Chain A
Amino acid sequence: MLSRAALLSGQNSRALVAFSRATGTTPASNAAAAATDSPSSLYQRPVRLIEPGKVRHGFIPEEWFQAFYAKTGVTGPYTFAVTLTTYLVSKEIYVLEHEYYSGLSLFLMWYVGIKKLGPKLAAYLDKEIDQYEKDWNSGRVSQKEGLEAQIADEEKAQWSIEGQNILIQAKRENVALQLEANYRERLMNAYQAVKSRLDYQVEKTNAERRITQKNLVEYVVARVKASITPDQEKQNINQCISDLALLAKA
């Protein structure tokens, strides 16, 4: 826990130093080591040359010609060579014995051989060395390709996992819809059940009332009929007959 008080009191300073300590391969430590002993430009890692040093006439270093140019101009080195050769030969410091003429014929053979076969051999060897280097690199290159393919696969997997998220979302919505539908269906069932019970109650009440009314009517009629005496009946019939007679008169 890095509290401000601890920072101020310096209790964590050792931990911070350890945290920022550089390893042997960090640029900072290399620069520090170079700065303490020598300028870093003197001690750079050696690099293999691709093209060899430039030469003229097959083997004479270009630098030797460059050394002449500042003092003598372009023809200087050739003038020097011709002059020196003339001196050595005329004083017989360089002796033109039989080996010299043997050397001339050898030089001719070498010259023709190099001019004729050199370019073809160089092209062939360049191809071979490229193939050789490619073979040595192939493991690393193929591993790199494999790792890149794995990265691509991983990214694709992540992408499809995102698709899975959408799918799960859709499934959840689907389930929610189903739950909603189920809920509404049950709500409807409850409504129907309650309604049927209420309808039954209403129907029952109606039926009871109807039966009660019927029984009452029957009872009243029976009692009324029972209450009619033969006397009254006779009177009634007589009244009817008189009414008929009255009607016939009219």
Chain B
Amino acid sequence: MGFGDYPLEYNPKVHGPYDPARFYGKADTPLAQVKLSELGAWLARRNKSPQAMVAAVSRAYWRWQHKYVLPKRAGIAPFLQATVGTMIIFYTLNYNRITQHRNYKYH
């Protein structure tokens, strides 16, 4: 599977048109339904290869696109979400410099 290829599990005859927001592998228990005692086993089952991580981010991005950007009556929400996300990213990047502006010596 090289760049620009479909996931190996994707089969057009079974799955129909390709949806970039969908995970085509075998579905595991959703994270929200995992009990704390099973969390370790759940994490151990994750595919932690860089490719899988990029694929997960890509799916999340497309899920967000489908939900907020691409609907017919999409509003300003995706723009504000992108703005807030960018603010958080750059705040984190600049955090070491920003902490220099602390006003109080003791907390």
Question: Chain A residues in contact with chain B, CB under 8 A?
Answer: 33-34, 37-38, 42-46, 48-53, 55, 58-59, 90-92, 95-99, 103, 114, 118, 122, 126, 129, 133
Contacts and interface: CB of A to CB of B under 8 A. Distances in A.
B57 to A, nearest CB: 18
Contact of A53 (B13, B15, B16, B68): B68
A8 B71 CA distance: 59
A49 B104 contact: no
Contacts of A44: 16
A23 B81 CA distance: 46
13 contacts: A43-B16, A45-B16, A46-B66, A48-B66, A49-B72, A51-B73, A52-B68, A58-B77, A58-B80, A59-B81, A92-B103, A95-B101, A126-B73
Interface of B: 11, 13-17, 19, 21-22, 27, 66-78, 80-81, 84, 87, 98-99, 101-104, 107
Contacts of B11: 37
A106 to B, nearest CB: 10
Contact of B76 (A34, A37, A38, A118): A118
A49 B71 contact: yes
A97 B101 contact: yes
Contact of B66 (A45, A49, A59, A129): A49
Contacts of B103: 92, 96
B14 A92 contact: no
B19 A95 contact: no
